[in-house]
Amino acid sequence: MATFVDHVTLHLRAGNGGNGCVSVKREKFKPLAGPDGGTGGNGGDIVLVADPGVTTLLGFHRSPHRRSENGGPGMGDHRSGTNADELVLSVPIGTLVKDADGTEIADMTDAGMRVVVAEAGQGGLGNAALANTKRKAPGFALLGTLGFEGDVRLELKVVADVALVGYPSAGKSSLVAALSAAKPKIADYPFTTLHPNLGVVQAGETRYTIADVPGLIEGASEGKGLGLEFLRHVERCTALLHVLDCATLEPGRDPISDLDIILAELAAYPVPDGQIPLLERPQLIALNKIDVPEGRELADFVTPELEARGYRVFEISTVSHEGLKPLSFALAQLVEEGRQALIDAPPKPRLVMRPRAVDEAGFTVRVEGGSGGNIYRVLGTKPERWVQQTDFTNEEAIGFLADRLAKLGVEDQLFKKGAQAGSTVIIGLDNGVVFDWEPTMTSTAELVTAPRGLDPRLLKDGRRTSNQRREEYFERMDAKAEARAELVREKEAGLWREDSTDEE
């Protein structure tokens, strides 16, 4: 059964926003006292928090599907829907968060760091919030928007001050147990350690952590053995300690050849941009198993050559604890120097938040060719959110959407892109809403009165246009003129005459 997991894919679904309410207040002697529909509640966000008490991603490996609650719907009498609580997920310090495409979202390097990885939907406004002096009794409300639904990848990179690297069965786990209170699994066969082990070491006034990285072999940087699985845990360490086996019984192996192979693998492993390459970090060498007579002789033999390469060498025994105290203080010195270097390093550039420019539209119109003619796709946060909030079974709500898009400038951009009445317009990406664009739908919606839930601009009731009314007026005037001319002709023909009154 797995006890340590350092990479997992989470399937997240944040809560949806609650729908707004359409309601009219009714009291005694006031049957229509105005709109009082409440606003829907916001859904719950999904938040990751770096927790020092968590050391593995095992809990997410067993239950990768996580979801937060939806917001409550609005109600009458100005009662808003309940806002859902956020879902907090604790992750180990050193967790790297990526989206489904592998793009880095956050690096959880500090205790208590919080990152919203799945944003919840917003609650829709009720008809009371949509009312104004021109639209006194809205017959519609806005729908709640959908929360984020998708995958997020978590990768754990152990945060330790010193990384112990070396061949399998070199004694790294035994060294962690000897220097700290950790109790890793120890056995006399290769690849005993299947996950990194952490230990806390106290050397004088300095306290630091050491990590036992599972055994590396030749080709580890290319995926052989357990190399690729655990080499990434070396990335965050300040110093490296090479643990070399001086009592190995395998033919063709000795401390010098083991060191060369490990150095080659560390050099071949790429570190992220901005980090110091592994071989440029402080390194010490521990010649282990000098409690064995042959091991002490071999350690004495190879020490001059290693020191000639510029390494500080310590002959140790994890069984008799010989040489461990000088090694722990030497490691503490490297850790303190690394911490001081971080303090003296120039501060990172500050994140500057700049407001959106006043002339920035906030959306784009993209022309896409198709067999039936050009398709005009509108992309932007506001237009796409407004479409989600629209109840397309309510014609008044559709008219409100048209007015919002017109005020945002969408219609002007469509004109500039060459759109005409009847052109296909899509708002959103793959699952966007498709419209047959009618420019006349976007004028003075607030000034139009209509039955509740209806927009007269969308009704096919045969209303006369201005040109039609003008033509009918001229036709009436012409008919009256023709009637007067007919009367004059009849009078001249003697068909009738005006009666004159005799004066008395």
* Separation CA 114–CA 466 (nearest Å): 60
197 Cβ neighbours under 8 A, 6+ residues apart: 173, 176, 182, 184, 211, 212
Number of Cα atoms under 13 Å in the Cβ half of residue 134: 6
CA torsion sign, 284 to 178 to 258 to 281?
A: negative
363, two tokens: 């959306």
- The DSSP secondary structure of 9-60, one letter per residue, reads EEEEEPPPPPPP---B--BTTBTT--B-PPPPPP---EEEEE-TT---SHHH
Task: Output DSSP code: residue 134.
Answer: S
Q: Is 334 left (phi over 0), alpha (psi -120 to 50) or beta?
A: alpha
Cα(first)–Cα(last) distance of the chain, in Å?
Answer: 131
Task: Answer whether 196's CB lies under 8 Å from 159's CB.
Answer: no
Q: Tell me whether residue 115 is annotated as binding.
A: no
Q: Tell me whether residue 168 is annotated as binding.
A: yes
Q: Tell me whether residue 166 is annotated as binding.
A: yes
Place of tokens 């461990």: 324
Q: Tell me whether residue 214 is annotated as binding.
A: yes
Q: Tell me whether residue 289 is annotated as binding.
A: yes
Q: Tell me whether residue 317 is annotated as binding.
A: yes
* Separation CA 389–CA 383 (nearest Å): 10
SS3 call for 245? strand
Number of Cα atoms under 13 Å in the Cβ half of residue 483: 6
Listed residue (197, 124, 160) closest to 335, CA to CA: 160
Q: Tell me whether residue 192 is annotated as binding.
A: yes
For residue 498, what are the CA distances in angstroms to 7, 482, 494? 109, 20, 10
E-assigned strands of 217-368? 239-245, 283-288, 312-315, 364-368
SS (H, E, C) 401-458: HHHHHHHHCHHHHHHHCCCCCCCEEEECCCCCEEEECCHHHCCCCCCCCCCCCCCHHH
Q: Tell me whether residue 170 is annotated as binding.
A: yes
Task: Answer whether 323's CB lies under 8 Å from 355's CB.
Answer: no
- Phi/psi at 273 (nearest 5 deg)? -60, 140
Q: Tell me whether residue 171 is annotated as binding.
A: yes
Q: Tell me whether residue 191 is annotated as binding.
A: yes
Q: Tell me whether residue 215 is annotated as binding.
A: yes
Indicate the residue type of 307: E
Q: Tell me whether residue 449 is annotated as binding.
A: no
Angle between helices 381-388 and 395-408 (to 10 degrees): 170
Q: Tell me whether residue 189 is annotated as binding.
A: no
Extract the annotated binding site for Mg(2+).
Answer: 173, 193
Extract the annotated binding site.
Answer: 166-173, 191-195, 212-215, 288-291, 317-319
Extract the annotated binding site for GTP.
Answer: 166-173, 191-195, 212-215, 288-291, 317-319
